[in-house]
C-alpha cells in the first residue's frame, strides 16, 4: 500500500460519501487528517459539525489521528483558520483534497443565476480558497500534493448541469496553471473525475447502477494523486474499479491565412483542422501560439 506515515491531509466535504472514504483511506495509511464538512444538505443549505465529527470518531476508533472542521469553503477567512488548525496541531499540511461540492441542477433555460453562482462559489472558489490557504505552507516546506475534484460533466457535458459542468471544467484550468507554478516547490496538482454513488447522485441513476458505483472504488486514484510519487497535471477518471486518463489535446491543424475568403478556406479545411491523427497534449498554453506563429512564418516565406 502507498504509505502516508507522517503526512498531514485536509479533505473537504469529507463528512460523507466520497470525501469520507478519502479521509478514512488516508488515515488508514498513516496520515493525520483534518476532516472538513459544512454539514449541510446536498444543495448547500444548513450547517453542522456532526458529520465531520462522526468521521473523526471513526478514525480515532481505528487508532488514527484526526480533527473535525465545519468551515464553509466559500468563506476565505474560515478556510485560513482551518489550515491554521491543521498547522497548529501537526506542524504542516502535505495533502489537500478539494472534494466539497453541491448540486443545483436545472436546464440552463430554467436556471436561476443565483444557483449558477452558488455552485461556482462552492466548487471553484471553494477550491481556490483552500488551495490559496495551503500554498504558502506547501511552498515553505517544499512539498505538496493537491487533488481537484473535477467531473465528466465538466470534461464532456451533462444535461441539466451547466453550472456544475462549468465549475468542474474551471478546476481543470486551475490545475493546469497551478501545476506549472508549483513545480519548483514540488507541489504537484492533479484532477480526479469520480463516478461514485453518493448523496450527490441520489435520484440521478438507477439503484442497480448506484450499488455498483461504490465510493471506495474511486479512492485508489485519489491515493495515487496524493502520494509522494504522484504525477502532476494529470486528469484521472475513476469509478466501479476502472481508471482512465482524460487529456486536453491540440490537433496539428491547418494554415488558412488571412483575407476576405479565410472563412471559406476554413470551411474547406475543417476536416484537416479537426483531424486527431497527430494530436498532442501541450506542455503549456504557449504551445498553441507557438504552433500557429511557426506555421504562419513558414507560409509567409513561401509567399
Structural domain contains residue 229:
yes
pLDDT attached to residue 260: 95
Q: Are residues 87 and 216 in the same domain?
A: yes
Q: Are residues 233 and 298 in the same domain?
A: no
Q: Is the pLDDT of residue 276 over 90?
A: yes
Structural domain contains residue 18:
yes
Structural domain contains residue 3:
no
Cβ–Cβ < 8 Å for 133, 83: yes
| Residue tagged 495551503 (cell numbers) | 134
Q: Provide the pLDDT confidence category of residue 41 given band limits of 50, 70 and 90.
A: low
**What is the Cβ-side half-sphere exposure of residue 93, based on CA atoms within 13 angstroms?**
26
Cβ–Cβ < 8 Å for 223, 25: yes
Structural domain contains residue 220:
yes
Least confident of 38-42, 73-77, 185-189: 38-42
Q: Is the pLDDT of residue 199 over 70?
A: no
Cβ–Cβ < 8 Å for 229, 223: no
CA-to-CA distance for 281 and 179, rounded, in angstroms? 15
For range 157-178, the mean pLDDT: 98
Q: Is the pLDDT of residue 5 over 60?
A: yes
Structural domain contains residue 54:
yes
Least confident of 68-82, 124-138, 209-223, 279-293: 209-223
pLDDT attached to residue 197: 77
CA-to-CA distance for 115 and 178, rounded, in angstroms? 27
Q: Are residues 49 and 184 in the same domain?
A: yes
Last residue within a domain, chosen from 219, 246, 273:
246
Dihedral of alpha carbons 12, 14, 18, 21, sign? positive
State the chain's mean pLDDT as an integer.
94
Kindly state the cell numbers that stand for 40.
449541510
Structural domain contains residue 1:
no
Q: Provide the pLDDT confidence category of residue 302 given band limits of 50, 70 and 90.
A: low
CA-to-CA distance for 177 and 190, rounded, in angstroms? 11
Structural domain contains residue 252:
no
Q: Are residues 266 and 242 in the same domain?
A: no
Tell me the backbone φ, ψ of residue 195, rounded to 5 degrees: -120, 105
Q: Are residues 197 and 86 in the same domain?
A: yes
Q: Is the pLDDT of residue 200 over 60?
A: no
Catalytic annotation present for 164: yes
- Tens of pLDDT, residues 94-153: 999 999 999 999 999 999 999 999 999 999 999 999 999 999 999 999 999 999 999 999
pLDDT attached to residue 206: 76
Q: Are residues 219 and 75 in the same domain?
A: yes
pLDDT attached to residue 1: 85
CA-to-CA distance for 139 and 142, rounded, in angstroms? 5
Structural domain contains residue 37:
yes
Q: Are residues 232 and 279 in the same domain?
A: no
Q: Are residues 179 and 280 in the same domain?
A: no
Q: Are residues 266 and 239 in the same domain?
A: no
pLDDT attached to residue 63: 98
Last residue within a domain, chosen from 200, 218, 246:
246
Q: Are residues 42 and 169 in the same domain?
A: yes
Q: Which residue of the set 164, 172, 194, 234 is catalytic?
A: 164
For range 202-225, the mean pLDDT: 84
Kindly state the cell numbers that stand for 237.
477518471
Q: Provide the pLDDT confidence category of residue 213 given band limits of 50, 70 and 90.
A: confident
For range 262-273, the mean pLDDT: 97
Total structural domains within the chain: 2
Which domain does 287 fall in, by range?
A: 262-302
User: What's 219's domain CATH number?
Assistant: 3.40.50.720
Q: Are residues 177 and 278 in the same domain?
A: no
pLDDT attached to residue 202: 63
Q: Provide the pLDDT confidence category of residue 203 given band limits of 50, 70 and 90.
A: low
Q: Are residues 288 and 209 in the same domain?
A: no
Q: Provide the pLDDT confidence category of residue 198 given band limits of 50, 70 and 90.
A: low
Whole-model pTM above 0.85? yes
Amino acid at each position: 500500500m502507498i504509505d502516508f506515515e507522517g503526512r498531514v491531509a485536509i479533505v473537504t466535504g469529507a463528512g460523507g460519501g466520497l470525501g469520507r472514504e478519502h479521509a478514512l483511506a488516508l488515515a488508514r495509511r498513516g496520515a493525520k487528517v483534518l476532516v472538513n464538512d459544512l454539514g449541510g444538505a446536498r444543495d448547500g443549505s444548513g450547517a453542522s459539525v456532526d458529520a465531520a465529527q462522526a468521521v473523526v470518531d471513526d478514525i480515532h476508533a481505528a487508532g488514527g489521528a484526526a480533527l473535525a472542521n465545519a468551515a464553509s469553503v466559500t468563506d476565505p477567512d474560515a478556510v485560513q483558520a482551518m489550515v491554521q488548525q491543521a498547522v497548529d496541531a501537526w506542524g504542516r499540511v502535505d495533502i489537500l483534497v478539494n472534494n466539497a461540492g453541491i448540486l443545483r441542477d436545472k436546464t440552463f433555460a430554467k436556471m436561476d443565476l443565483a444557483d449558477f453562482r452558488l455552485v461556482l462559489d462552492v466548487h471553484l472558489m471553494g477550491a481556490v480558497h483552500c488551495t490559496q490557504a495551503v500554498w504558502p505552507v506547501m511552498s515553505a516546506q517544499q512539498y505538496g500534493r493537491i487533488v481537484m475534484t473535477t467531473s465528466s460533466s465538466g470534461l464532456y457535458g451533462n444535461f441539466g448541469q451547466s453550472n456544475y459542468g462549468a465549475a468542474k471544467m474551471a478546476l481543470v484550468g486551475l490545475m493546469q496553471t497551478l501545476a506549472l507554478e508549483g513545480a519548483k516547490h514540488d507541489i504537484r496538482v492533479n484532477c480526479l473525475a469520480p463516478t461514485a454513488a453518493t448523496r450527490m447522485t441520489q435520484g440521478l441513476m438507477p439503484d442497480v447502477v448506484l450499488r455498483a458505483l461504490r465510493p471506495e472504488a474511486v479512492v485508489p486514484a485519489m491515493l495515487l494523486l496524493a502520494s509522494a510519487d504522484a504525477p502532476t497535471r494529470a486528469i484521472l477518471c475513476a469509478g466501479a474499479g476502472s481508471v482512465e486518463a482524460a487529456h486536453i489535446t491540440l490537433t496539428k491543424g491547418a494554415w488558412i491565412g488571412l483575407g476576405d475568403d479565410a472563412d471559406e478556406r476554413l470551411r474547406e479545411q475543417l476536416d484537416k483542422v479537426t483531424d486527431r491523427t497527430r494530436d498532442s497534449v501541450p506542455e503549456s498554453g504557449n504551445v498553441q501560439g507557438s504552433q500557429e506563429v511557426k506555421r504562419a512564418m513558414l507560409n509567409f516565406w513561401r509567399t
